Amino acid sequence: MGYSFSAPPLRRVYRTLVVLTLGGMFSVWILYLIANQVNHRDNGFVRLFPPHPVLPTSHVLPLQYNSYYLAGHAGDTLYLGNITAPFHVVAVHQNLVDTQYVRIRLRYPLERLKRLTLSIDSPYFYLMDGIAPSLFRGYIGQWEATKFMYDSTYFTEAVPVGPSSLIVRAVMANREYALGRQSATLPHIRFDTTILQKQIDGLFCTDGILQYDRRQHGLLYLYHYRNEYIRFDTNLHVLERGRTIDTTSRAQIKVGSYSKGSTITMAAPPVMVNYESSVAGKYLFVRSGLRASNETEEMFRDAFVIDVYDLTLEPRERYKFSFYLYNHGTEKLKSFRVYGRTLYALYDHYLTSYTFNDRYFPPGH
Amino acid sequence: MNRYKLIDLAVFLLIILFTYAALSKLLEYDKFTVQLSQSPLLTAFAGTVAWAIPALEIVLAVLVSIPRMRLYGLYGSYTLMVIFTAYIVAITRFSDYVPCSCGGVLQKLGWTEHLIFNLFFVALCGIAIVLQVHKEHNPSPVAT
């Protein structure tokens, strides 16, 4: 061949290719910088970090599957449900050493069930499916589930609050979320559309976490996208509306739709204020998504921050302090719950626990 | 085999890729716009990018199919594929959730497969550019 691949015109081509490659990468890098600035600004509030408010325990329980979730607690045993295998339960002693695998028996046509979730409320365990919809219940230890009450209402969240009543969250005909009480007696279902307050669309903007604290017989709903929680009783009476320490009082989300409105979705990455929460006695634990002014971005990459509130205090004095739950190896925290004086942290393939430090959580509550 | 045949193969694959990608985006334009705006990197520019990308893909498909414009088309395709590749790397590192805005069957690819797919096209464009210049400076047919 008479013409070499290293002749001057081709050398110019190689140079051009290098320039184009760098240019392409540079333009994405610029995009990255712009987005980074928007997504990771600090939020104009300050957290307190006392030394070691919670102490890690020595045991780590390895988990074979990443489909486990924290289903509840009874006595000194923690129960893990499994999203993909809804009848498979792991009972873990609080020392995280003794584990027992349980299989729930249910005589019911499985093809009618869509998404069963397990919830523990001693002495019962509940299997609930808000899409089917179906409710089953059985005794912990016997693990035999049966239908037990009215279950014809669709729901997106449900917590058992008594032997035959549930607090549910469901999508109303106007496509907005509302909280309701479902019971075995008539009227079986009653919704109160005033508890969750619409800011933007009434669906995404009111999304949040519904939790029941059995000892206080109180419910708490914490919004995902604004700094607010609602405490109410099992009769849906609002006791108070409180605020978390950050400054996002209005949900920062954008909602869009396509396919002529039949699919509604987020039209921008939402600003997640509160990922999840856990109520234990007088304490409220909140996993926050917002960085405070006195935190570094590195910290926020390597750990999740948990804010602790004392719900018995005056609203302005409730925030106590914060601590970090670090990534376990490369895995980020998936979920956490506090039962008694133990905090359980679930990762894709690990379960770890922490105990309260008496200095910051005085015993006797 | 004549190594310049590789140029024709690259051009052929690029025309199919870009036409398919552009049409599948335009056919589901609403959905594409929403998906783009969900991307942490593109939220602010979703409206522009939503029509600019398919338009660019069509222009590039046309350019590479016109022999006189082929080299420009190849340079453009190369750069676009580099940008797509860099975008994939950036977005997988950027956030916990990764929205996909690719049309049609490309949506079914995982992120690693997608990366390999894109790198293949980057390499293909690069080789085609070198061969094209080689050919333009060496008009007599060369058999190897």
pLDDT of the residue at B102: 58
Contacts of A31 in chain B (CB under 8 A): 41-42, 87, 90
Pairing verdict, β A117-121 and A54-62 = unpaired
> At A274, is the secondary structure helix, strand, or coil?
strand
- Cβ-in-10-Å burial (0-12, 13-18, 19+) of B32 comes to buried
Q: Which helix H or strand E contains A241, and what residues bound it? A: strand A238-243
Per-residue pLDDT averaged across A28-42, rounded? 75
Which residue range(s) make up the domain with B14?
A: 5-136
Q: How far is A272 from chain B (nearest CA, A)?
A: 12
State how many domains chain B has: 1
Per-residue pLDDT averaged across A24-51, rounded? 81
Residue B12 lies in a domain: yes
Closest CA to A173 of A158, A188, A154: A154
Contacts of A347 in chain B (CB under 8 A): none
Using CA coordinates, name the residue in chain B closest to A34: B41
Q: Which tokens is A201 given?
A: 């669309």
pLDDT of the residue at A87: 94
Pairing verdict, β A88-93 and A99-103 = antiparallel
A1 touches chain B (CB under 8 A): yes
Per-residue pLDDT averaged across A246-262, rounded? 78
Residue A40 pLDDT > 70, yes or no? no
Judged by CB atoms closer than 8 Å, whether chains meet at B43 and A269 is answered as yes
A/B interface, count of CB pairs below 8 Å: 96
State pLDDT tens for residues A338-348.
998 999 999 99
Judged by CB atoms closer than 8 Å, whether chains meet at A39 and B96 is answered as no
Q: Vertex A130, ends A204 and A267: CA angle to 5°? A: 20
Q: What is the largest CA-CA distance in chain A?
A: 94
Judged by CB atoms closer than 8 Å, whether chains meet at A35 and B94 is answered as yes
User: How many Cβ atoms from other residues are within 10 Å of residue A143's Cβ?
Assistant: 16
Q: Where are the domains of chain A?
A: 42-356
- Cβ-in-10-Å burial (0-12, 13-18, 19+) of A259 comes to exposed
The CATH number for A42-356, chosen from 1.10.3720.10, 2.120.10.30, 2.40.160.40, 3.40.190.10, is 2.120.10.30
Contacts of A38 in chain B (CB under 8 A): 43-44
User: How many Cβ atoms from other residues are within 10 Å of residue A223's Cβ?
Assistant: 22
pLDDT by residue for chain B (144 residues), tens only, comes to 578 889 999 999 999 999 999 998 898 888 888 778 777 777 778 788 889 999 999 999 999 999 999 999 999 999 999 999 998 888 877 655 555 555 556 666 777 888 899 999 999 999 999 999 988 887 655 554
pTM of the model: 0.76
Residue B51 lies in a domain: yes
State pLDDT tens for residues A124-158.
999 999 998 999 999 999 999 999 888 888 999 99
Per-residue pLDDT averaged across A223-247, rounded? 91
pLDDT of the residue at B140: 59
> Which of A107-111, A313-317, B18-22 has maximum average pLDDT?
B18-22
Q: How far is B52 from chain A (nearest CA, A)?
A: 15
Going by pLDDT thresholds of 50, 70 and 90, the confidence category of residue A292 is confident
Tell me which of A82 and A316 has the higher pLDDT.
Answer: A82
d(CA A355, CA A115) in angstroms, rounded, equals 33
Judged by CB atoms closer than 8 Å, whether chains meet at B142 and A1 is answered as yes
- Percent of chain A residues past pLDDT 90, beyond the cut: 58
Distance from the Cα of residue B144 to its chain's centroid: 30
Q: Which tokens is A100 given?
A: 């027992």
**Nearest CB to B38 within list A5, A9, A269:** A269
A23 touches chain B (CB under 8 A): yes
**Nearest CB to A267 within list B38, B40, B85:** B38
d(CA A338, CA A78) in angstroms, rounded, equals 11
Residue B141 lies in a domain: no
State pLDDT tens for residues A52-95.
899 999 889 999 999 999 999 999 999 999 999 999 999 999 99
Contacts of B94 in chain A (CB under 8 A): 32, 35
Going by pLDDT thresholds of 50, 70 and 90, the confidence category of residue A265 is confident
Using CA coordinates, name the residue in chain A closest to B38: A268
Cα separations (Å) of B9 from A137, A314, A321, B71? 63, 73, 64, 14
